[in-house]
Amino acid sequence: MLTLNRLSHPLRGEISVPGDKSISHRSIMFSALANGSSEITGFLEGADCLATIDCFQKLGVQIDHSYRPVNGVPTITVHGKGLHGLTAPNAPLYTGNSGTTTRLIAGVLAAQPFSCDLTGDTSIETRPMKRIIKPLTAMGGDITSVMENDCCPLHINGQKLHGIVYHDPVASAQVKSCILLAGLYASGDTVVYEPALSRNHTEIMLRAYGADIHNSIDVSGGAAAILHPGTPLQGLRINVPGDISSAAYFIAAALMVPDSEVLIHNVGINKTRAGILCVLKQMGADITVLNEDNSFEPRADLLVRYSHLHGGANGKFEIVGKTIPTLIDELPVIAVLAATADCETIIRDAAELKVKESNRITAICENLRKMGCDIEPTDDGMVIHGGNPLHGAEIDTHLDHRIAMSFAVASMVAEGSTRIKDEKCVDISYPGFFRDLQNLTKLN
């Protein structure tokens, strides 16, 4: 258990956060399915992304890990085997705590000329997989939930697939990506419709690898991803931008702690992921975007200064609808920020929080209540009555990395001591988080 105390001085300095988790996963997967070798820098060496490497190594892909001699930057080289070069593993594929690995790789495995078992840790074994089993089955796939509960372990008996037009009731990048990866192998086009555009890293990156894929958005905001199969993928060089989900904790800390000013370098600002920037600016946050680069995946430096957050003229602020998919992973730390804001914050349409690494609606509400926040859970979100002073408490992370990091940030403005249980769960996405947080909070 880690004990943290209220910060008595502002945060000042510069920081670079680890590579984007979503892009890191996909860089390994797409490189493995490409012809030729790919070189990846900026890769996130967290437990989830390492699970993706392990799975593809077991599928016969050579993946080398080295460090550049001058600056020590880690470099991953993936020797792609093409779409049809994977080989049957001699044991079940274990994805650890990674929902992204589990759901995306299932789309690849559904089309292979062999059978495979797919499983993960106890959290993965409770997370819903029917959302991918249903469309993959519609494509001709043969996927069985071994425990007959629509969760992992999954037995996947590879089949010849055909394209489908699939209407996903929830905007989910994992489901969309699973279907599109299966579509690479299918006869005929694959089209995925969503009620709103979820993060589009898969489409951007597959296009860079040479796939014939594009997005369209209708007048109501609904989105479609359209894949025309038949074009082989080609290896390339990728520099992964910093993860905005990891940057979010330092953005929040700088906004909350008086007189703080923090510069965060090389952060991915893809519009399907950067909803937190739009929402916080609407609440009065002082965030300046610098050195923007829109080649490949958009990225920029972010200068964040302490700000007094507030709602509208009615004293309320709503985070709802099509904004939710653009900041779903940042909602825990946004809730912490809302607890300190001078307004009532209403979060709706976020039922997806219930099926993350933990039930994040429950975890957020129970822990913020412990710290003195007036917060009410709802079926698809929460209502946060901000402005009450926070105090230290014992935080149950539920082994969820985003809960642990969000409440570490909350501790900086809470009276007394805050104790974080199972703090090592941050290794899933940000192994150096507490070190970086400590370095940024040192007196300059």
**Residues annotated as catalytic (active site), given as ranges:** 329
- Residue 424 has phi, psi (to 5 degrees) of -70, -10
Which runs of consecutive H residues, i.e. helices, occur in 225-383? 244-256, 275-282, 331-340, 360-370
Task: Tell me the one-letter amino acid at 95.
Answer: T
Please give the Cα distance from 373 to 362 (Å, whole number).
14
**200: burial class by Cβ within 10 Å (0-12, 13-18, 19+)?**
buried
Residues 47-51: contacts with CB within 8 Å, 24+ apart?
Answer: 47/96, 47/97, 47/98, 47/427, 47/428, 47/431, 48/21, 48/96, 48/97, 48/98, 48/100, 48/101, 48/428, 48/429, 49/21, 49/24, 49/25, 49/98, 51/94, 51/95, 51/96, 51/97, 51/98, 51/101
Paired tokens of 383: 């209502």
Rounded CA gap, 112 and 110, in Å?
6
Tell me the chain's radius of gyration from C-alpha atoms: 21
User: What would the two tokens of residue 308 be?
Assistant: 């007094």
